Structure 1
Amino acid sequence: MGSTARRRRWAALVGATALAVTATGALAGSAGAATNVDFPTHCIPPDIAGIPPIDGTTTAVITVDNASPTVGDTVTVTYEVVKPAANNPTAISLPADIMTPTGKVALGGAQTGSVTVAGPKKNDPVAGNAPFPGFTMTGTFTVTSPGAITLSPGDYNIHTSYILELDTPCTVTGGAAPVSETITAADTPQPNTRAIQLGSASGNPGDSVTVTGSNFTPGATVTLAGRSGASQTADTATVTATAAGAISGALTVNDKTTTGVVAYEGSSWSSDLGAGPATYTVIDNTPVPPNSQKLNTTVTAGSLSMTQDGDTVDLSAVEFGKGGPSTGALNTVTVQDFRGGPAGWSLVGKVTDFTAPGAKIDAGQLSWTPACATKAGSLSTCQAGSSGTVGSSGATLASAPNGTVTGGEFTADAQLSLNVPAFTPPGSYSGVLTLTLS
């Protein structure tokens, strides 16, 4: 190898190593009040590069996909380089996609430990003496403790694949890095396992129905009560739970509008401390007065259904070489819940890969921001799903919770964004978004 070629090879090695050392920064995500933080960093280039250790300042930010998780939830953490510490120190341009970053995010507060994060082998080309690009790393952790959990940037390593496979480890110096993000985890709610059974499903006005139950608080006073739809009737009785949490008693049902029976602890009905309603019907045996006619009618249960305003969405175009978001709006979906029962519903979407001849964009690149509206007079209230990735595994567009009586009419929409990678081959790409209502 000639002297000129050797100099070029070493200059390229120096540039690539400097890129790995100085392109430190913040990690970005999508939720929470994340803060950019600066912290001192000590980076050791590979010996072959002939560069001494570099002590500089890293600017980083950490974000999460869920700032209010519950114990047991999985939280996605993103560690993004926001502002590299230096420029390319050589006049030689560096190629794209030579950097593979990995690192740690330190947990503190209610939960300690670290989160391993990694980034893709992807970076833009760097011109000679130009600023280095930033990069992101992501990872996940499971919440194990309730309370405030802090997240701080930790050590990281940059692996470069340019001429040689090289590592540049960078460590946080001067103590721990400042806190960039804080999340508040809620404790896992204890399930309500109280249950009741009725001795009969119907009776005449004034008849007594036997109520038995289990899993109530031992020794608690339990109220038995009739329900007319979502309202409690005047028919009540009290029993005392045994040491095993069992109850047994009788409730006299006089109200002809009764639709069910409940049992609960405390001064008033609570779904957390109660059971039921168990269905109960009062058979109206009141004699028809002379010269009168008794008129009966029936309200039949309907179905859970949905319609949509169209079956095609044209997303905005993205320029080759630049990439970025291809955006649009989901056709409005109308949900009708005319079942007349206690069940809620969920509307979930899944998407296929976006394909073109000989190329594709992964389904995981599609994200949405859902919205949901409830028609006036509906018994249920529609809840929009969380913003984020749709992908092939699916995500919730909208839902309505279970309740004593549910039903109504609702509309669901979403703003769509397909992240098109830079230099995606030109062409028309199509994917299929399938909505499932259950």
Structure 2
Amino acid sequence: MAVLAAASGGALSAPAAAEGGVSTGGPAGQVEFPTHCLPPQEAGLPPADGPTTARITVDNPAPQVGDTVTVTYHVATTPAVNPAGTELPADALTPTGRVLLSGAQSGEVTVVGAKQNDPVQAGAALPAVTMTGTFTVTAPGQTALAPGAYTLHTSHPVDLDTTCTPAAEPSAVPVSARLSASELPTANLRSVFLAGASGKRGAKVKVTAAGFAPGAAVTVAGRAGAAETADRVTATADTGGVAVAELAVTDKATTAVVAYEGAAWTARQGSGPAAYAVIDAAPTASQRVVATVEAGVLAMTQTGEDITLGAVPYGDGGAAPGRIGTVTVTDARGGPAGWSLIGKVTDFTGPGGVRIPGASLSWTPRCVVVAGPSACAVGSAGVVGPEGAVLASTADAAVVGGTFTIDAGVTLEVPRYTPPGAYTAVLTLTLS
């Protein structure tokens, strides 16, 4: 069970970022761009035009698809001035803004800063601010990050917003940082099991190959080191991707058995090798050896407790993104039954009892098989809601079990003009 929180604030969206920009000669990535700052009407001040000096950094410039990247937007200088008409006291300035993504991944990242500043004289320039936010990498390749609009909210003597927007065309907004994302590596989930580890020359051994494409022609062959022997048979994978064959081992050089689709075995596309010994016909004595495999349990663990969603601007509403803590499911029961992981979410409750329906929360699940023969099916992307939705599951099959890591990106659609404040709900995950 996890607690989710969303916030409604005041930020201005900005145009899409593009390559190009002006370096200031300062720290790496620091850029300068013309800005139009619109003071609040209550201040009676004219618009302020001038350069903004800013820098964007990321905590991971080389992520994998699916990773969460933290973005920091630092505004070093701004043409915006104190709109209060009197001295602005310490810790009365709250910044929010947008970081623009372009290239392999496009869109905007909402960033928010702490209420932290030194006193500012009436009419003096507002001080430097730092804002942070996160986003999930959804595409491989290079993504450029550029500074967008930012809003400087002052809370003395009344609440006032000064909004600063890049004055340049979108194609001229300077790029301050870049990251290069790589695809998530794909695991080989194929496996091969032998009914026996040895046999006389010419004897048949039952081979079960799992994890193949349903209906695929699977070759089961003997191996001697890195080379195949003459022992070979073909079987067709059933709807669960399992192929069963009886391999006659006639080549005394055979020391292992492999299974694969296509023309030849590879470490990424095949399964095995599983060790096998050919016993020459000779007087032997044998003993029956019995080993017992004990069944375990179906269990899950989850990292973290709370999920904090991104802030959305008051009045605009929109999507508040986030990600649930990673869930690890372990199925060591040894039976034929699969499992389902289902999530349900309550309504979000905020200041004064205002509610956002739980049906406003949607997710995009992801499941990775760490080990084991079962394939993991992710639930459909869409609404979670109080009625519940499937996060991930495995099907019933002859051979099941394994370890799985599951997570999901979540998005709360916040209605327009939802009162500012924190909204909290409870997301419950049930494994059965």
Normalising to structure 1: TM-score of the pair? 0.48
Larger of the two Rg values belongs to structure: 1
**Higher relative contact order at CA 8 Å, sep ≥6: structure 1 or structure 2?**
2
TM-score by length of 2: 0.48
Instruction: Report which of the two has the higher share of strand.
Output: 2
